[in-house]
Amino acid sequence: MALDPYSELADIIARRATGEGSHVTGIGSLSLSRCTAPTPYHHAAQWPCFGLVVQGAKTLELGAERYRYGVGEYLVVSLDLPVTSKVIEASCDEPFLGLGMAIDPAQLKQVLARVRLSPATVAPDAMRGVAVNLAPPELLDAALRLLRLLDRPQDIPAMAPLLEQEILYRLLTGPFGPRLLQIATAETPSNRIAQAIAWLRGNFMRPLRIEDLADQVGMSVSSLHHHFKAVTAMTPIQFQKQLRLHEARRLMFVEQMDVGTAGYSVGYQSPSQFSREYSRLYGQSPLRDVSAARMQMAAE
């Protein structure tokens, strides 16, 4: 008797992801996740991706907004965005199980070239770079067939790109499609916001003048503010601040940099301002945050 899509998806993920956290697979764009307990907040720079929960539930925060997604719901992130995520439903008996697929811009353009979808009008308040929707049967089926390839590695080189493009097609023709399409289409406000985000990522340590950023992407200051917040739920200044703080945390945690040097390295001239803004985002001062992490690692 055939398994229903969720049972089979869960079975494949459980067999392939036997430890805690995220697991790479033989398909370069595909990762699998397993957690047996709710997790602390995870702060990261999230690249464009498609994510699907098949057991448990998770939240993702963008700016001040929170998105919850559980079994059968999928998440799409259409731009490089600083986000905070957390598994909220998981246990040893019923672990959180999910999959993530990075969205390759080149493949997205190939799909668009073939189907030639027309840009749809999207209201500014519906242009967020993050969305959660219920997965339709066609999307579930494509995701399942992609996961089945993990048991047939000889088929991956030929079949995985085709199934990845099918998933992109389902995303483009779903509720989030107009937003993906606008971001991929030249000369739209969202496309210019993508350019602004790319510029901020490459220059987040430099002092930011909104006028310079607006000139860089060919928008007026007011239009940049309006569309940037519509897509990211943040102002450019808030966005830059999160990029700086995420990088400072990485420098302290991964490269063992001291607090003062990390803050200065990402553009903070004032240690007190760095500590204040870090505490606001992460819930405690940088020194306490690093100390707690090192104590936890020593205990493990």
pLDDT digits 0-9 by tens, 17-61? 999 999 999 999 999 999 999 998 888 888 899 999 999 999 999
Left if phi > 0, otherwise alpha if psi is -120 to 50, otherwise beta: which for 56? left
Same domain, yes or no: 116 and 242 = no
Cα atoms in the 13 Å half-sphere on the side-chain side of 214? 14
Same domain, yes or no: 109 and 204 = no
Dist. CA 116–CA 296, nearest whole Å: 52
Tell me how many domains the chain contains.
2
Given 167, 183, 199, the domain boundary residue is 183
Same domain, yes or no: 15 and 128 = yes
Q: Which residue has the tokens 């007190």?
A: 272
Beta bridge partners of 46: 81
Same domain, yes or no: 39 and 87 = yes
Same domain, yes or no: 194 and 117 = no
Domain membership of residue 244 as a residue range? 188-300
Please check whether residue 122 is in contact with residue 182, taking contact to mean a CB–CB distance below 8 angstroms. yes
How wide is the angle at C-alpha 198 spanned by C-alphas 194 and 200, nearest 5°? Answer: 115
Same domain, yes or no: 68 and 207 = no
CATH number at residue 286: 1.10.10.60
pLDDT tens digits, 187-231? 677 788 989 999 999 999 999 999 999 999 999 999 999 999 999
Given 163, 183, 203, the domain boundary residue is 183
Q: Does pLDDT of 1 surpass 50? A: no
pLDDT bin (cut points 50, 70, 90) of residue 297 is low
Same domain, yes or no: 120 and 24 = yes
Same domain, yes or no: 173 and 262 = no
Dist. CA 218–CA 235, nearest whole Å: 17
pLDDT bin (cut points 50, 70, 90) of residue 183 is confident
Same domain, yes or no: 202 and 118 = no
CATH number at residue 177: 2.60.120.280
Same domain, yes or no: 128 and 269 = no
pLDDT tens digits, 226-263? 999 999 999 999 999 999 999 999 999 889 999 999 99
Q: What predicted TM-score, i.e. pTM, was given to this entire model?
A: 0.86
Given 126, 161, 183, the domain boundary residue is 183
What is the CB neighbour count within 10 angstroms for residue 54?
A: 28
* Average pLDDT for 151-161: 96
* Average pLDDT for 139-153: 97
Please check whether residue 287 is in contact with residue 271, taking contact to mean a CB–CB distance below 8 angstroms. no
Left if phi > 0, otherwise alpha if psi is -120 to 50, otherwise beta: which for 28? alpha
Same domain, yes or no: 132 and 48 = yes
Same domain, yes or no: 103 and 209 = no
Residue 128: the pLDDT is: 87
Residue 59: the pLDDT is: 97
